[in-house]
Every structure is written in C-alpha cells, then in structure tokens.
C-alpha cells in the first residue's frame, strides 16, 4: 500500500490561537496543490462524519443493538438508518437558515399545513420563542423539530440528538395528521 503524507499549516491564525498543523496520511495520489487541498477538504468533513455515526449509533437510532443475523435485512435496515441520519444532519445544518434549503429536502410538501399548525403550538411570547424562518423552508421545519426535541430557544443551538428526537415526534404527529384527514 502506498501512502502519501499531506502536511497542512494554518497561515495567520486568529490572535492567541494555536495554528492548525495537520499531518495527514492518504492512499490518494497527491502531486499537486489541488489534490492536497482535496485531501484537507476530506479531513475537514470528519466532524460531519462523526455526527452521522453518532446519530446512527447508541445515542440516536441505536443500530448497534440490532440483532439481525441475515445480511440482506441488516443491510436494508442500515441503509434506511443512514438515510434517516442524513435527514437529521440536513436539518441540523439548516437550523440557521443560511443555505435557504426548501422543506422538500427532508419532508414532503404536503406536510406543510400540519407543520405550520404544530409550529403555532410551540411558539412562545418572546422573540426567541418564535420561529424566525420562512414557512416552506427546511429551516422552519428544523426549528419545529428542535422545539419538539426539547430545545427552548434560549441556550445554544440544537444538536443532532435533539433534532432526531424532535423529528421522531414530528413524524408521529404528521402520521396522526394524515390519519385525521382520512377519517
């Protein structure tokens, strides 16, 4: 196996901060600056990958507790869990509304009326307890999921586990909303 060492150093770090200095080993060929930047870009995504596994594992969906011995059903369940975990991370990334992603990135467009009705029950009287995002946006849905997951709006930003719990609650509520319409 051939490994390449990519060394990256931060130039002009913030005052009083220790400069970043990475020594990365890769099996990718690296002979140009563009290739080295690609490798450091991969490494910068490590936190997202850690969060993805956190949502899939014990604190989240607890895929590790599954005791399916046959390969195909386990692979199907793992794939479904991965898709759900990615949906959670999409909502975490869009919690501030910076990317302007549409609701349809994570939920169906016909879920919007129920989402708006649920949101009304979660909003409080203060500005911090009001959903600041436009209706129909993924940020709007993320705010609702964060509140359903236990986030008050006052302390920090909701993380993936809070978002997961809120999304699970929201999915149950949306199912009830759809049942109500069928009756």
CA-CA distances (angstroms) from residue 73 to 64, 79, 87, 134, 150?
Answer: 14, 10, 21, 40, 33
Nearest-angstrom CA–CA distance, 41 and 179: 45
Tell me the domain boundaries of the chain: 4-44, 48-182
Buried b (16+ CB within 10 A) or exposed e, 129-139: eebebeeebbb
User: What CATH number is given for 48-182 in this structure?
Assistant: 1.10.740.10
CB count within 10 Å of CB 100 equals 11
pLDDT in tens, 134-165: 999 999 999 999 999 999 888 889 999 999 99
What is the pTM (predicted TM-score) of this model? Answer: 0.79
pLDDT at 121: 95
Nearest-angstrom CA–CA distance, 50 and 33: 27
pLDDT in tens, 14-71: 999 999 999 999 999 999 999 999 999 999 999 889 999 999 998 899 999 988 888 8
């Amino acid at each position: 196996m051939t490994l390449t060492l990519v060394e990256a150093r931060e130039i002009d770090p913030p005052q009083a901060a220790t400069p970043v200095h990475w020594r990365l080993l890769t099996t990718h060929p690296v002979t140009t600056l563009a290739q080295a930047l690609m490798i450091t870009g991969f490494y910068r995504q490590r936190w997202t990958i850690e969060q993805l596994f956190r949502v899939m594992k014990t604190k989240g969906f607890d895929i590790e507790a599954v005791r399916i011995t046959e390969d195909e059903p386990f692979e199907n369940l793992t794939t479904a869990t991965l898709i759900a975990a990615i949906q959670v991370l999409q909502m975490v990334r869009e919690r501030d509304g910076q990317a302007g992603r549409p609701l349809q990135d994570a939920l169906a467009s016909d879920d919007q009326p129920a989402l708006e009705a649920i949101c009304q029950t979660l909003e409080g009287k203060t500005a911090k307890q009001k959903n600041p995002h436009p209706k129909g946006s993924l940020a709007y849905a993320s705010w609702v999921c964060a509140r359903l997951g236990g986030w008050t709006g006052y302390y920090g930003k909701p993380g993936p586990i809070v978002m997961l719990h809120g999304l699970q609650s929201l999915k149950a509520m949306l199912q009830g909303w759809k049942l109500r319409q069928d009756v």
